[in-house]
Amino acid sequence: MTFYTYDYLKGGQTNWAIAKIVVIALLALAFLVFMVKYTRNKWDMKYKDLSIILGTLLLLAVAIQYSDFTNLRTASVQSGQLTVVIEKSAKKLGVDPHSVAINDTSRNNNMLVKTPKGYYSLVFNGSGSEFLLVKANLYEPDITVKGE
């Protein structure tokens, strides 16, 4: 069973975003260079072909980046909801939020919270605005914690 710490959920996984933007910028620059060379040398077909190839790669990279952006936005909303749950759980139990971990990255009714005081099950009300912490005893838990 994998648990995710408060810091892991709060930090996000956006390390590759800058690298992707740099790749897109380099593709766009190379595309512009080959388009200028093609317009200056109308009879040199290699620049036209290279422009078409780089334009296609640029469109593909932008589409992938847009897809990743929408996935990241959805994940950040979900992790934001989870960090609020962790903060409220820590407050109710009287522990530091940084010592609390949760076993899922999306909110549902079968979640476990790992605290220094033990494991707790989260039971949400119908609207999902409040929850109940129930002490849980795990039988032979195989636990890994991401973010420690």
* Half-sphere exposure (Cβ direction) of 11: Cα atoms closer than 13 Å: 11
- Averaged pLDDT, 123-144: 79
What is the spatial distance between Cα 74 and Cα 101, in angstroms, rounded to a whole number? 20
The three-class DSSP label of residue 71 is helix
What is the spatial distance between Cα 55 and Cα 61, in angstroms, rounded to a whole number? 10
What global pTM score does this model have? 0.58
Average pLDDT score, the chain: 80
Q: What is the pLDDT of residues 28-76, one digit of tens each?
A: 999 999 888 888 887 778 888 888 998 899 999 888 888 877 776 766 6
CA angle in degrees (0–180, nearest 5) for 16-107-69: 25
The domain ranges of the chain are 2-146
136 pLDDT exceeds 60? yes
pLDDT of residue 94: 87
Q: What is the pLDDT of residues 78-129, one digit of tens each?
A: 666 777 778 888 888 888 888 888 887 777 777 888 888 888 888 888 776 7
pLDDT of residue 116: 87
